[in-house]
Structure 1
Amino acid sequence: MEMDAMGAARRWLADQGVRRVRDGWVSAEDPEVLLTSNEVALSRAGDVFAEDLDAADQVRLAFGLLDLLDEYWVTCEIRFANEGAQGPLPADVLWGGYRRRLEADRNIEAVTYSLWVDWFEDHTTSARAFAEVLGNDIDRVVAQRSEILLRRARRVLECSGPVCWTVKEPTYRTAAQLPALHPAVFRGLRASFHDIYGDLEPAAALSLLDRLDLPTDTQHLAELRHVLTAGHRNHYRSPRAWEDAVRSCS
């Protein structure tokens, strides 16, 4: 499906006079100027949502453009469209697009960055976004244990620091039933402490941390346990806490 979407995006760009060359992209408007993928995304991605297509096909085309360009700005235009006058976008296509790319066996940094800094840091969208990309089907992930589902779960857990603790704790606890997800749950807890918008409840987070089967030399494990035991919720609320933990644990 991603290959079909990518092909559609390539054809759409060609219709706009933009084509791929060996070292980048060129536009029919100025074929002597080499464009980067990011420049193409900045100049063209928003135009997808002005196309004479239904909203679902616009979203599919935008995701194809994301696959083709691998640029974070495409995800920004998707979110702008969702929040704009013609939004919200069809939820099944929007979140299905995110889920499929989170399951893909390739680099998807633009997708996880989008989740982290846009959907998860905004508390008006974080609960719905987290539920759609993992929370709603964490039981299926744990039951089926397929590598595709585990890949998605790991990626979401690791960037879920800003999600409200009450929203993500049940998913964290279910994920902790599966040892294969323990490192990702740990990284989610660590991000929940360190992210500027990170959120956790120290006692509950410590209880969860103690359930994880991790190597004793796991980097930052001792320090995280130290700050949680001391009752600290977030690095930015207690800026000296981590430094004190590093000294205590060294």
Structure 2
Amino acid sequence: MALLKDIIQWCDQTLKSHEFKDYAPNGLQIEGKAEVKKILCAVTASQDAIDAAIAQHADLLLVHHGYFWKGEPYPITGMRGKRIKALIQNDISLVGYHLPLDSHPTLGNNAEIARILELENIEALDPSERNPIGNIGYLKNAMSPEAFKNFVSEKLHFDAIHLPSEKTTIQKVGFCTGGAQDFIGKAATMNCDAYISGEVSERTFYEAKELDVHYYACGHHATERYGVQRLGQAIAEKFDIKYSYFELNNPI
């Protein structure tokens, strides 16, 4: 058993959440029990994830995508109201870390993507960032664009969408998980052969062609299911409590 406040303090310090300008609050979003015996992790605080937390008698729901996003309406009604009501009625805390969990060099989503894809010599996609949100890595052996599509699809368990450029081989790869398709311009500036993110936009097709950077959309959910698991495991080991992961395979 651990105190909620101690878990939040450790997460905030470990992830350096105060150093990020984010689109939603990082850390404790809804306060539940003061004592935590079990954590459930999920990518998004959906109703399914909340129902799983209730069913598993979790005290804390740890997510990458929480609530109170910039630009959202203030009233807690409708779908969001139902979710928050369920958390409060069951005394379950909601804790979310967004950009800090993308960026962290060992626990983050990008760090795990680098490991899974066996990328080496990791560096910042944007060298001006204090805590880089995106990264660059190098394949040990160059691949054809088609072979790389098959490789990332197999490794990330997602049928990647490939938007081609004219380059015939891929070795230098930029990547940033989730909805970071517009960072393809940064990848071009850094002379990447390919760029990976989760989502794709209509404009990305033309950008890949004109910037001469192969783009691979590998799924918002598929690229971001790692950080919460790594963080949940780290919390469990630090505080000697239980954790589990809820997977709802979102195809987007």
Structure scoring higher RCO (CA < 8 A, sep ≥ 6) equals 2
Larger-gyration structure (1/2): 1
- TM-score of the two chains, using structure 1 as the length reference: 0.28
Q: Which structure dedicates a bigger proportion of its chain to strand?
A: 2
- TM-score of the two chains, using structure 2 as the length reference: 0.28
